[in-house]
Chains A and B, each alone.
Chain A
């Protein structure tokens, strides 16, 4: 089943409409547009001091000494160092290797390491105090490239700098022998660069101690991650740490792990200053210090038979993890689990390594490892189609996974496989689309070369492997005396629309108007742990919990009506009656994995994800022959989302993700020199503007997933995965170059074309 995208918003509909699949007004829309929404730096905190961070400024070395300038007036400044930490000096995540503050005598692993913290009544004073701290360091040779990490002349982690190694072996066959027997083998290496999330609101938190309890409010995705980190850092019992999400201006993964660092710093400062402390990064510090998408290198060998049937894939994935383990093992996991693509391939071997370097740790970013490996396998498929002289769509259809097929980990796909549907929709839309209208500025017109590229891909929704089961996320829904219902979850709205979607799901399940649904502030003292807001899991996994909790609550209310002989037609009235007569009523649901979902971390086999989203993206480019500037003239994107709970929000997710992917492909470059970001500003760290956005046509495909709310599955990340490969394929088509690296800046094309110049322009 698939349905057409309406495209136009439905603005006349009242905001109380909850219809699943409609586009009611966003719950958070008016306060954000009018400026009433309070982001963390807007929160009134008149007594708060301002924090600032002293950073190491060398990529690798030893922290020898810290001294205070005796001529500086320290009377209204607090200084915090590692020795002020009450608990364990770590930013707890997967393992505890990253310190919150490097201790004197300790090792500096990258140039943005925090050595000390200061707080003062004003930002200017805090900054002046930073300058009055004298740091002595001893430099060690640094590892700043993947090659140097592999060479392991300098050892940063173990004996080989491998932060994590993971492997997938589909079968026992000797992959070299199988490849040797293939009619065609395509052997290429692909490289992608770091990418900055560039959320509009830089990171920041406000920390405050009330008695023995530490309270933190911040711009963050995962309140319980921060909670866990603070409990360990501060050495406090769980109930003496309260973490609350403020209105958050974007995350894209960038506010998944780093807020634990900032929150820890602010908490330490607030304790020392005995007053609230705001620690807000400016753009330069944010770009320099916080996480980015992992740079990658993927060698991909693809074997095909003479008919274009895929026979074998041998894939080697290397990620630059940066200085500490952080989330790299999980990013690597998703990278390799997607590396052989949505294809039937009998023989697959995948080896992935996340490597240690002396750069600030790379981390979560929309797609989470999948975009890097998707780029590689779809470039391979484009090359295969070219080599065999077959139609791009046909080659995908011939090899794609369908219901009943199994993935490289042996996961049998039993339902909600939209592979065929997305390709069909894309091809239909292409047949009907008018040719793109070229837009050019300036009076000096250069000729262009045009090309077209296709990418076809999938993305696992929810946590990898047994993640959801281990996490056992919970959601509560409670009746309030007013007749409203309060949904309590730790999911955060970071601009993606979660508040609106949960409101729709709850209103529908309780059969009440949307105005009856209140979403509790995501604060660890008020909501259960529903898991982090990551991994395209919020709507599908947590949204399902909302639905189940509401359905159970509705049943309890109906039972109450029967027992008390009350009219059960309006659950809101019943809820108020229940609270008045019997006190609060609430329901809590915990995640249950659908039957048959089995995964083994030991062998890397089984159901890697509960379900996959499917997508196909087609891009037309025009390349300026003189300057090699690339214009994406058209982008068609068909995405199987299971079910669009809120049509306009889903379309927005797809368009935004697509533009972010096009930016990664063509514009976004984060150059490093000795482990330092060279362009830490919005002026120079280029992301696309609306003027760079192509004409985009989003085609919603809905192949429902039985265990998602109303059939929904993940949509947040999938649009990020494929467009870059489509762009690179289009550039190959236009210019005849092997576009195997990202970003494909005009300077890169210039370089690639130097080896294979264009012929004189056709008339």
Chain B
């Protein structure tokens, strides 16, 4: 029989984790239960779903926004702070699975799986998020791209938990966009995801440009070349075309059963172009 631990608080969860590095960490289970019947049962389960300290939502003393790893999409969607300060995450949450999945699936679970088609990951990349991990030796904070190491591979140690995601204090003042191109309107696996944010200088120049992309490589990634060509520039039609060109070299899409590499490449370019045009319009 599989051992089942349901910790009452974070301290208990951490000590269970430290004691049983081989136990499965279970949050909403919406990733883990897929294909569960094909796998051997785990030695044990540490059930984190609904743990209060993982469902915190608010501002830290340093002004940064904090979202607990245990927050479900449903909770994120209902929260006015998320809607106001993190509209890209709000929009992304609305398109995860459908209502049932949104009620169970969590931010921490999306990170834990670190799939190339995890919908929040490009958003977290684009919103300059850092991932807070806690283990016996304390807390560490990693930028998303230092946490997501590869295809379904993370920097999480086997005595650590994902505790929270934190965002820059000024994130709500940056312009944010989100676009998911999926196989259908709900219960849809992404073919391409674009999340982006930027601050604007007084002259309209783009500052702190972040472009997060998903489903276009083995892992979600920041389009760093694209960010570089946009940084400090005032958006216009020509810049939009340059960005569209550049982003196609930032990515490494593949042909698979859900889409084709040439399509993914083409629409990533056009969506980036659209975003820059939209920024140029906002300027006028």
The chain B residue sitting closest to A683, CB to CB, is B189
Q: Is A667 an interface position by the 8 A CB rule?
A: yes
On A, residues with C-beta under 8 Å from B are 441-446, 625-629, 667, 671, 678-679, 683-684, 686, 688-692, 746-747, 750
A683–B97 Cα gap in the complex (Å)? 11
Q: Given contacts A443-B87, A444-B278, A678-B257, are A689 and B263 in contact (CB under 8 A)? A: no
The chain A residue sitting closest to B95, CB to CB, is A441
A683–B87 Cα gap in the complex (Å)? 27
A688–B91 Cα gap in the complex (Å)? 21
Complex interface: chain A residues within 8 A of B94 (CB): 441
Q: Is B187 an interface position by the 8 A CB rule?
A: yes
Q: Given contacts A441-B91, A442-B178, A691-B185, are A684 and B267 in contact (CB under 8 A)? A: no
CB distance from B209 to the nearest CB of A (A): 15
Complex interface: chain A residues within 8 A of B273 (CB): 626
A626 touches B185 (CB 8 A): no
The chain B residue sitting closest to A124, CB to CB, is B37
Q: Is B254 an interface position by the 8 A CB rule?
A: no
A691 touches B98 (CB 8 A): yes
Complex interface: chain A residues within 8 A of B266 (CB): 750
Complex interface: chain A residues within 8 A of B87 (CB): 443
Q: When each residue 133-165 of chain B gets 1 if its CB lies under 8 Å from chain A and 0 otherwise, what string results? A: 000000000000000000000000000000000
Q: Given contacts A627-B271, A689-B98, are A444 and B178 in contact (CB under 8 A)? A: yes
Q: Given contacts A689-B184, A689-B185, are A750 and B275 in contact (CB under 8 A)? A: no
B184 touches A692 (CB 8 A): yes
B278 touches A445 (CB 8 A): yes
Q: Given contacts A441-B94, A689-B187, are A626 and B270 in contact (CB under 8 A)? A: yes
A353–B98 Cα gap in the complex (Å)? 43
B185 touches A444 (CB 8 A): no
A747–B191 Cα gap in the complex (Å)? 11
Q: When each residue 14-37 of chain B gets 1 if its CB lies under 8 Å from chain A and 0 otherwise, what string results? A: 000000000000000000000000
The chain B residue sitting closest to A680, CB to CB, is B257
CB distance from A312 to the nearest CB of B (A): 39
Main secondary structure of the interface of B (DSSP, over half): mixed
Q: Is B39 an interface position by the 8 A CB rule?
A: no
CB distance from A283 to the nearest CB of B (A): 11
A441–B181 Cα gap in the complex (Å)? 10
Q: Is B179 an interface position by the 8 A CB rule?
A: yes
Q: When each residue 173-191 of chain B gets 1 if its CB lies under 8 Å from chain A and 0 otherwise, what string results? A: 0001111110111110100
CB distance from A633 to the nearest CB of B (A): 13
Q: When each residue 259-284 of chain B gets 1 if its CB lies under 8 Å from chain A and 0 otherwise, what string results? A: 11011001100110111001000000
A444 touches B186 (CB 8 A): no
B194 touches A444 (CB 8 A): yes
Nearest 7 CB-CB pairs, A to B?
Answer: A691-B185, A691-B186, A444-B179, A626-B270, A444-B177, A747-B263, A689-B186
B185 touches A627 (CB 8 A): no
CB distance from B118 to the nearest CB of A (A): 14
Q: Given contacts A689-B186, A692-B184, are A684 and B257 in contact (CB under 8 A)? A: yes
A443 touches B177 (CB 8 A): yes
A50–B59 Cα gap in the complex (Å)? 55
A626 touches B271 (CB 8 A): yes
A446–B263 Cα gap in the complex (Å)? 16
Determine which residue in A442, A446, A667, A686 has the highest number of CB atoms from chain B within 10 A of its CB, and name it. Answer: A442
Complex interface: chain A residues within 8 A of B185 (CB): 689, 691-692
B271 touches A444 (CB 8 A): yes
A689–B258 Cα gap in the complex (Å)? 17
Q: Is B221 an interface position by the 8 A CB rule?
A: no
Q: Is B88 an interface position by the 8 A CB rule?
A: yes
A692 touches B186 (CB 8 A): yes
The chain B residue sitting closest to A284, CB to CB, is B38
Complex interface: chain B residues within 8 A of A746 (CB): 181, 263, 267
Complex interface: chain B residues within 8 A of A441 (CB): 91, 94-95, 180
The chain A residue sitting closest to B278, CB to CB, is A444
Given contacts A626-B267, A678-B257, could you give 5 more A-B pairs where the C-beta distance is less than 8 Å?
A: A442-B177, A443-B178, A444-B194, A679-B257, A750-B267
Contact partner of A750 (CB less than 8 A), chosen from B189, B262, B271, B278, is B262
Could you show 12 A-B contacts with beta carbons less than 8 Å apart?
Answer: A442-B179, A443-B88, A445-B274, A629-B181, A684-B257, A684-B258, A690-B186, A692-B185, A746-B263, A746-B267, A747-B259, A750-B262
A689–B48 Cα gap in the complex (Å)? 31
A678–B257 Cα gap in the complex (Å)? 7
B176 touches A443 (CB 8 A): yes
Complex interface: chain B residues within 8 A of A689 (CB): 98, 184-187
Complex interface: chain A residues within 8 A of B178 (CB): 442-444
CB distance from A221 to the nearest CB of B (A): 27
Determine which residue in B176, B178, B262, B274 has the highest number of CB atoms from chain A within 10 A of its CB, and name it. Answer: B274
Complex interface: chain A residues within 8 A of B275 (CB): 444
Complex interface: chain A residues within 8 A of B262 (CB): 750
B274 touches A750 (CB 8 A): no
A646–B34 Cα gap in the complex (Å)? 40
A442 touches B91 (CB 8 A): yes
A467–B271 Cα gap in the complex (Å)? 55
A671 touches B257 (CB 8 A): yes
A629–B263 Cα gap in the complex (Å)? 12
CB distance from B157 to the nearest CB of A (A): 30
The chain A residue sitting closest to B183, CB to CB, is A686
A446–B178 Cα gap in the complex (Å)? 12
B residues 212-268 near A (Cβ < 8 Å) are: 257-260, 262-263, 266-267
A444 touches B274 (CB 8 A): yes
The chain B residue sitting closest to A628, CB to CB, is B267
Q: When each residue 86-124 of chain B gets 1 if its CB lies under 8 Å from chain A and 0 otherwise, what string results? A: 011001001100100000000000000000000000000
Complex interface: chain B residues within 8 A of A692 (CB): 184-186
Complex interface: chain A residues within 8 A of B180 (CB): 441-442
A686 touches B184 (CB 8 A): yes
Complex interface: chain B residues within 8 A of A446 (CB): 270-271, 274
CB distance from A396 to the nearest CB of B (A): 32
The chain B residue sitting closest to A442, CB to CB, is B179
The chain A residue sitting closest to B175, CB to CB, is A443
Determine which residue in B95, B189, B260, B267 has the highest number of CB atoms from chain A within 10 A of its CB, and name it. Answer: B267
